[in-house]
Amino acid sequence: MDEILDLLRQNARLSVEDIAAMTKKTTDEVKQIIKKLEDDGVILKYAAIVNPEKDKVAKDKVVAEIQIQVQPQREHGFDAIADRIYRFPQVKSLYLMSGGYDLKVLIEGDNLKDVALFVSEKLSTLEGVRSTKTNFVLKTYKENDIVYVEDERDRRESVQS
């Protein structure tokens, strides 16, 4: 099961036949394992990884990381406020953190004003939010083990005199 999951992490477009050949399992075994992984919620989605610098729609978006300090709720901890935050369509990722802040949110907006309005009108007004700090993503070099920048350095050996 782990072997099949690792193969799908590397390339979700592998066919059942290819996975069977690589794992020395039958195609029926591979189909059953993949179905179980999907049914058990281990595999949630299959998606393409798109270079944001080459995607016209994504390139024009503004991405921000927001660090949030919150007051956890009795008997619910951070989960209740996290539940309210991740339901906003602007929220692309949400993490519970250790250290100087509690939650890290990655959001996406059409422009700086959209992001600012989201933070000031939606996030910071939620009950339990004590403070927010917004950082804007200027360029993505690497994400989820994928390098987005092309190496444009001159590879010729330098001549030293």
Query: How does pLDDT run across 68-83, given as a tens digit for each residue?
Result: 999 988 888 899 999 9
How many Cβ atoms sit within 10 Å of the Cβ of residue 108?
Answer: 18
Beta strand segments in 5-149, E: 62-70, 91-96, 103-109, 129-136, 142-143, 146-147
Confidence class for position 161, pLDDT limits 50, 70, 90: low
Q: Are residues 36 and 95 in the same domain?
A: no
> Who contacts 67 (Cβ-Cβ below 8 Å, separation ≥6)?
97, 100, 101, 103, 104, 132, 133, 134, 135
Compute CA distances 59 → 41, 53, 55, 111, 145, whole Å: 31, 5, 6, 11, 20
CATH number at residue 127: 3.30.70.920
Total domains, the chain: 2
Whether 59 is in a domain gets the answer: yes
pLDDT of the residue at 74: 86
Average pLDDT, the chain: 90
Q: Are residues 72 and 94 in the same domain?
A: yes
Domain range for residue 83?
53-143
